[in-house]
A and B are shown apart, each in its own frame.
Chain A
Amino acid sequence: MLQLRRTLALLRGETGNQRARTGSTFPFLNSTDASSGLVLQSQSTDVYQNLALEDWIDAHVDLQQRGILLLWRNRPAVVIGRHQNPWSECNLPAMREMGIALARRRSGGGTVFHDHGNLNMTFFASKKAYDRKRNLKVVTEALRRLRPNLDIQATDRFDILLKGHYKISGTASRLSRKSSYHHCTLLYSADRSALSTVLRPSCPGIQSNATPSVPSPVANLIDHAPSLALEELLEALVQQYNTEFGFSSACTLVDPSDESAFPGVGTMATELRSWDWTFGRTPKFRVETLLELRDEQPPARCSAQLQVEVKAGQVESCRLDVPASWIPLRLSGQLSDVLVGERFCPHRAAAAVAAMLRSERGQFHSRLHNLCEAVLAVMG
C-alpha cells in the first residue's frame, strides 16, 4: 500500500527531494541520472476508464527520463481509431444486442475487438524515445522465450504475426507535446466468433475518407500454445520490458477510477464516453444505398434510393427517391426533411419520425411505416 501511494505520488510529480526517501526500492529513486521505468497493471475492465488513464499518464507524467508500461484488459468492446467511421467499421446493431461497448481512442490506426482474452500493452515514452519496433521486440522476445517453437514475427506495419499469417497483435500510437504512447493488442484467448460478428459494417454504401482498417485473419495464442497461462504471459512481458530497457520495476496495480490518485481522470473518461466524441468525431461521410420496400396485404415490392450526408454524426442532407406510385412524394419528402439536423442514430431518428407517423393515419400509413423502418435500419 505504501509502495502504491509512493508510485502514484511520483507519477503526479510530487516527489520533491527524491534523495530524502532513503531505503526506497524504486529504481528511479536510487539512480540520479539514469532513466527509470514503471510497470502498471489496471484493475479496471472499463474501456473508457482505461483509455482515460492512458491520456492522464500522457498529460501528467514527466516521461522525459522515464518509461512506463501499462497492462490492461477490457470487458467486450470495439475500439475504433481516432479518425475512423464506426458505421463502416463495426456492426452497431449487433453490438447493442450483445452489450458490447464502442469506444473511439485518441491514437490512430484501425478497429480492434477487446475482451478478457485480449491483453493491451501501452508503452509510454518521451517523443525522442518513441520506438515501436523496440517495444514490439519486448512482446516477440517474451513470447519466444516462453514458447521457442512458436513462429512469431513483427511486420513493418507493426503487426505481430503467428506463423507468418495470423495477426495476434495490432499497433497504434499518439504523439503529443513532449510524450508519446504506443499501444498494442495481444490476442490470447479472445472470443473470435464475437470478433468476426462485430467487425463488419453496420450499413452498406458508405463513402468516406475516414481511415480504413486493414482486415486480417486472426488467431489466439492459446490455440497454438494451449499450456500457456495468462499469468505466465504477463510475467514474461514485464520481465522482458525490464530487460529491454534496463529497468527493474515490479508490477503495480492501479485503479483508473481513483480520482485521488489520478485527479481529473473521471472527466477524461466522461469525454470518451460521450456521443460527441465517439460518433460526433466521425469524418464527414455519405451513404448511398437502395432500400427494399414491401407490402404484405396484397404483396408488393419497390426499390427506393437513399442518399444521406452525415457531418459530425448528424444528418446534413437527406434525399429519398421513392417512386410516387408507391407513396406520395410529399410523404417521402417530409421524411427527408424531418431527418435533417438529427443525429444519424436510429433512436433519435425514430423519435423524430414518430410525430409524422402519428399524423399520417390514411391509406399510406403502413407503407410510410415500412419506409421509416428501412431508413432507420441504415443508421445502425
Chain B
Amino acid sequence: MAAYALLRSMSSSFPSVLPLLSRSGSLSPAPLAITPFFRRTLASSSRFSAALKFTDKHEWVRVEDDGVGTVGISNFAQEALGDVVYCGLPEVGTELVQQDEFGALESVKAASELYSPLTGEVVEVNSLLADNPGLVNKSCYKDGWLMKMTIAKPAELDSLMDEAAYERYIRSIED
C-alpha cells in the first residue's frame, strides 16, 4: 500500500514523471503487478508518449493500451498531399493483410492510395473525417487519425521504423 501511496503522489505531478516512466522498459517483478495502472494513467494524460511506428509509405501506427493500433499518415505525407478533400476509408470489420490497399485520400493533387501497416481487422474509422477531411492536414497525429485495427501479428511492428529511423528515411528520399 505504501507503493500505492507512492503511485498516487507521482500521478499528480506528471510532467516530471512522464519521461522517467516512458523510458523504463523493463520493471522489476514487484512493480510489474501495478504496471497496467501506470500505463492507463499515462495514456489518459498524454497520447504522445506512446511510440509511433512508421511505414515507408508514410503511414504511422500507434499501439494503444487495449492492444488496438491507431493508424494515420505522417506530417511528411499530409504536406505532400495538399488539402485533403475526401477520405475513402474501409468498413468496420474489413480484414487487412499488411501492405493491403485499404483506402485512399483525395486531395487536389491526386487520389493517393493508403496501405495497411499491419495485419488485422478494422474496428473503428474516424467519423469526424466525413465532414472534416482537413483534419488529416491540421492534426495528422492526433485528431486526423484514419482508422483503428486489431494487431493480429505483433511481430510485424518490428518491421516498421521508429521515429528516428523514419526521420532518416525522409531525409534520404528528399535528396
Q: Which residues of A contact B (CB under 8 A)?
A: 81-83, 106-109, 130, 172-177, 180, 182, 209-211, 281, 283-284, 312
Return chain A residues, CB-CB under 8 Å to B57: 177
B85 on interface, CB distance cutoff 8 Å: yes
Contact A83 B106 (CB under 8 A): yes
Interface of A is mostly: loop
Contacts of A182 in B (CB 8 A): 110
| Cβ 8 A contact of A177, one of B85, B109, B115, B131 | B115
Query: B112 to chain A: which residues have CB within 8 Å?
Result: 174-176
With contacts A82-B106, A177-B57, A210-B86 known, what are 7 further pairs, Cβ within 8 A? A81-B106, A82-B88, A83-B106, A175-B111, A211-B85, A211-B86, A281-B88
**A209-B131 in contact (CB<8A):** yes
Contact partner of A180 (CB less than 8 A), chosen from B101, B106, B107, B110, is B110
Least CB distance from A155 to B in Å reads 12
B110 near A209 with CB under 8 A, answer: no
Residue of A nearest to B132 (CB): A209
In the bound complex, CA of A283 to CA of B87 (Å)? 10
Complex Cα spacing A286 to B174, Å: 44
Contact among B88, B91, B109, B115 for A83, CB-based, below 8 A: B88
For residue B113, give the distance in angstroms from its CB to the closest CB of chain A.
5
- Is the CB–CB distance between B91 and A106 below 8 Å? no
Docked-complex contact B130 and A108, CB < 8 angstroms: no
How many A-B residue pairs have C-beta atoms within 8 angstroms? Tell me. 59
Selected from A106, A177, A209, the residue in CB contact (under 8 A) with B111 is A106
Would you call B110 and A108 a contact (CB within 8 A)?
Answer: yes
| Residues 94-111 (chain B) with a chain A CB within 8 angstroms | 101, 104, 106-107, 109-111
Per-position 1/0 for B74-89, Cβ under 8 A of A: 0000000000011010
Measured CB to CB, the nearest residue on chain A to B91 is: A312
**Chain B residues at the A interface, C-beta cutoff of 8 Å:** 57, 85-86, 88, 91, 101, 104, 106-107, 109-113, 115, 130-131
Among A108, A173, A180, A281, find the residue whose CB has the most chain B CB atoms closer than 10 A.
Answer: A108
Name the one of B101, B111, B115, B130 contacting A107, with C-beta atoms under 8 angstroms: B111
What 8 A-B pairs come out closest when comparing CB atoms? Answer: A108-B111, A173-B110, A108-B106, A175-B112, A83-B86, A175-B110, A82-B111, A176-B113
- The winner among A82, A283, A284 for most chain B CB atoms within 10 A is A82
Q: How far is the CB of B124 from chain A (nearest CB, A)?
A: 16
Supposing A83-B86, A173-B111 touch, asked if A209 and B130 sit within 8 A by C-beta, the answer is: yes
Smallest CB separation, A14 vs chain B (Å) = 24
Q: A82 vs B104: C-alpha distance in the bound complex, in angstroms?
A: 9
Residues from chain B with Cβ under 8 Å of A209 in the complex: 86, 130-131
Neighbouring B residues of A175 by C-beta, 8 Å: 109-113
Which of A83, A130, A173, A180 has the most chain B CB atoms closer than 10 A to its own CB? A83
Q: Which residues of B contact A83 (CB under 8 A)?
A: 86, 88, 104, 106, 111
- Minimal Cβ-Cβ distance residue in B for A209: B130
- Min Cβ gap A135→B in Å is 12
What residues on A are CB-neighbors of B130 within 8 Å? 209, 283-284
Please report the C-alpha to C-alpha distance between residue A109 and residue B85 in the assembled complex, in whole angstroms.
10
Most buried by A among B88, B101, B131: B88
CB-CB nearest in chain B for A130: B110
In the bound complex, what is the Cα–Cα distance between A211 and B87 (angstroms)?
A: 10
With a cutoff of 8 Å between Cβ atoms, the chain B residues found around residue A107 in the complex are 110-111
Q: Which residues of A contact B115 (CB under 8 A)?
A: 177
Complex Cα spacing A108 to B82, Å: 14
Write the nearest CB–CB distance from A211 to chain B, whole angstroms: 5
* Residue of B with least CB distance to A157: B108
B107 smallest CB distance to A (angstroms): 8
| A210–B85 alpha-carbon span in the complex (Å) | 9
Report how far A182 CA is from B101 CA in the complex, Å: 19
**In the bound complex, what is the Cα–Cα distance between A109 and B112 (angstroms)?**
12
* Contacting pair A211 B106 (CB below 8 A): yes
| Cα(A175)–Cα(B115), bound, Å | 12
